[in-house]
Amino acid sequence: MSNIFKIGKLRLWQEYCKRETAAHNLNYLFWECTLRCNLKCRHCGSSCGDVVPPGELDTKEIKKAFADIAREFDAKKIMVAVTGGEALLRKDVFEVMKYAHALGFPWGMVTNGTLITPEIIEKMKDSGMSSVSVSLDGLEANHTWQRVGTDTFKRATAGIRMLVAAKFPIVEAITCVNKRNIKELEEIYAFCKELGVTNWRMFSISPVGRAKECGEMFLDAKEWKYLFEFIAAKRKSEKKLEISFCEEGFFGPELEGTMRDQFFFCWAGIKVGSILYNGDIGACPILPREQTRQGNVRTDDFAKVWNEKFNLFRDRDWRKTGKCEKCVWWDFCQGNSLHLWDIKEKKLDLCHMEMFGKEKL
């Protein structure tokens, strides 16, 4: 496909995104149910661990939040992603999500997989969970290096095998690609097929939390190019395993549309919202909280906040500054993903087009 044709498709995509931004129909909601975790992963943007910050929503409070949202929105059209910390450490997670599912919400969970047991799987099924994403950050040595803990690889892969055997509709392996494990993507791919997962999703990490101090987390231009060529080739040839890359940024007309099902657009605050562990209302949990919180479910009506706030996410002209101000790719990129910004300083921390040397047409 020629770049001229691709650019034409990108322009049509941006028109669609403008309409969706104006409508801002919520269809994906993160519930960060806890910041407690049994591991201390090197890439964790929230620096989770054994110490739990005060203020976690209790059972009654989060149930009320879901009930309020279901009253104002069509719950059947909002996918809830339960995340943490480690979601399975929250004792009432299945009670809460069984209640939410009864209100109409479809839901899934992101987990490090180390706490999965046959009893947990029965609770997953009973509460209406339809998808589960389990971290698989390499073969044993690299996974263990990244997921700091005891027997993290063996426990996570055992959990995946149990979920596959239980015939969940979607069992997804998610891989944080970094300088260490990028060299074994072929082996991870083969292992995903051997495990029998339905989906394999790759993502990169932002310089926040513990990851900020770990240089081995971040790819250079050559590694990015290899990653996308790898994903594009596998997506073209693979028929059974769904392979994708999670939203990160704009990568230019040659790569857009090859490694994910749609072109780049950051849906944070437009289709994607979140309820954080303490009730704060935001967009994506990985964003800096002090600059992006829009309200709190303890004191604010979620629907009103969603419909009347979030201007930070929906009006992107404030990002047209610095290197973005005169960039020829602005119409397609609009300042890249918000998690790649230093919001306080109003500057873009990572521009992929600049990294690739393609900041000019």
> According to the per-residue pLDDT averaged within each range, which of 154-168, 252-266, 325-339 is highest?
154-168
How much of the chain exceeds pLDDT 70, in percent? 95
Q: DSSP string of 216-276? A: GG---HHHHHHHHHHHHHHHHH-SSSEEEE-------TTTTTTSSSS-----BTTTEEEE-
pLDDT level of residue 361 (50, 70, 90 thresholds) = very low
Distance CA 331, CA 346 (A): 19
Task: Please compute the mean of the pLDDT values over residues 45-63 and round it to a whole number.
Answer: 84
pLDDT at residue 1 greater than cutoff 60: no
Task: Please compute the mean of the pLDDT values over residues 50-74 and round it to a whole number.
Answer: 94
274 conformational bin, left if phi > 0, alpha if psi -120 to 50, beta if neither: beta
Give the pLDDT score at 45.
64
Residues in the chain: 361
pLDDT level of residue 47 (50, 70, 90 thresholds) = low
Task: Please compute the mean of the pLDDT values over residues 277-305 and round it to a whole number.
Answer: 96
> According to the per-residue pLDDT averaged within each range, which of 75-84, 145-154, 244-253, 337-346 is highest?
75-84
Nearest partner of 43 among 138, 139, 163, judged by Cα: 138
Which residues does residue 348 pair with via DSSP β-bridges, in sequence order?
A: 341
Which two tokens mark 334? 């609009």
Nearest partner of 57 among 297, 305, 300, judged by Cα: 297
pLDDT level of residue 142 (50, 70, 90 thresholds) = very high
Locus of tokens 């970094």: 178
Give the tens place of pLDDT for each residue, 110-126.
999 999 999 999 999 99
pLDDT at residue 258 greater than cutoff 90: no
Give the tens place of pLDDT for each residue, 163-216.
999 999 999 999 999 999 999 999 999 999 999 999 999 998 776 667 667 777
End-to-end CA distance of the chain: 17
pLDDT at residue 20 greater than cutoff 70: yes
- Return mean pLDDT, the chain: 92
Give the tens place of pLDDT for each residue, 217-257.
788 889 988 998 999 999 999 989 999 998 788 988 888 88
